Amino acid sequence: MPYAQITGWGMHVPARALTNENLVQMGVDTSHDWIASRTGIERRFVAGKDEATSDLAVKAAQEALLLAGTRPSEVDLILVATCTPDHIMPSTASLVQNRLGAENAGAMDINAACAGFVYALSVGAGQIESGRARQVLVIGADELSIYLNWRDRSTCVLFGDGAGAVLLRASDTPGVLASTTGSDGSGANLLMIPAGGSRIRMNGRAPAQKDRYLRMNGPQIFRWATQMMAKAAQKVITSSGLKPDQVTLVIPHQANLRIMEATAKRLGVSTEKVFSNVRNYGNTSAASIPIALCEAIGAGMVKPGDNIVLTSFGAGLSWSAVALRWNVEVPAHLPRWSPLRRQLEATMATLRSALRRQERAVRTTIEERLHRD
């Protein structure tokens, strides 16, 4: 049975940074000290008006493919973990597949909210281990800023936008060692965006404004998350055959510094082994863990032979964790021609998409004329 090994990684965040002080200036009833002391967050990035989830996802994916030395046409499957898709349909993954020029790849979205990336990583690894795919692109991307009530300080101070991606490749050496996923739908009302689906219908009128916003029961989510992230991590550590002291690095979902500290305490690992970048990005939902992984790699905290645990929780209530062994050398830098290759691949993907649309239009015109005749 082949192993699923991470061979490429990339991240992207919007250009606009929103600091705690900026929120105060916007009229949010809060302060920098209040936010930082309770969450550990000092800034987050928010997407522009013309910047969709797929835009962030494509840029992160391009970086991951370049680093892995893989052409888009070599990818077998694209999984996009998101709860903020460009559209209800088609899937955001299909839009990413088209813009990358990954003409041989299947594509689908996975929605487990903030736990989505680790869910998708587990699914992608399973495809490789079963022999149904050799290369799977796994992306976590979200723009929760568009669903925030900027007068509700209990939620608007927490979330940011971004995307992160990894390329999984079939390998003879161990990669993903174990994974677990779970859900408890009885707590679905604790973290949700009510409008936008079939439960709250339009019926000729717009849904109530309050139903468009993210709502969260913070205290209950906090208590549940500190328990479930630790339990999920413990489960994959045990099932992978590792001992807790063999874990080199834990990368939890970057939701709240206090939750991460409580998780580390429950796991019995030192805070030095728990990576955190929530200070600079806030909670980027499904993008949280891949962005943190990219930054941990960039900081020199990941090297061949390391055992890494990713653990997450999200709306649903959902949770997921993965234990993996890192067996890839981290390059000092990308080749000089990498930006040129990225631009060329993007241009070719755009041309291919345009030609496909034109081909369909011509074929439709011919068929209509033949039918009339």
Dihedral pair phi/psi, residue 316, rounded to 5°: 145, -50
Q: What confidence score (pLDDT) does residue 86 get?
A: 98
More confident residue, 271 or 75: 75
Q: Quick check: is 253 catalytic?
A: yes
Catalytic residue, chosen from 114, 256, 294, 327, is 114
For residue 43, the cross-strand partners are: 19
Q: Quick check: is 114 catalytic?
A: yes
Q: What is the sign of the dihedral through the CA atoms of 238, 243, 246 and 248?
A: positive
What domains sit in the chain, N to C, each tagged with a CATH number? 3-195+208-325 (3.40.47.10)
Nearest to 46 by CA among 143, 111, 131: 143
Q: Which two tokens stand for residue 173?
A: 């050496």
Catalytic residue, chosen from 98, 253, 294, 327, is 253
Summary mean pLDDT of the chain: 94
- Interval 191-233: pLDDT, tens: 999 998 888 876 667 778 889 999 999 999 999 999 999 999 9
Catalytic residue, chosen from 20, 111, 256, 283, is 283
- Interval 238-268: pLDDT, tens: 999 999 999 999 999 999 999 999 999 999 8
For residue 159, the cross-strand partners are: 283
Residues of 131-165 as b/e, b for ≥16 C-beta within 10 angstroms? eebbbbbbbbbbbbbbbbeeebbebbbbbbbbbbb
Q: What confidence score (pLDDT) does residue 335 get?
A: 66
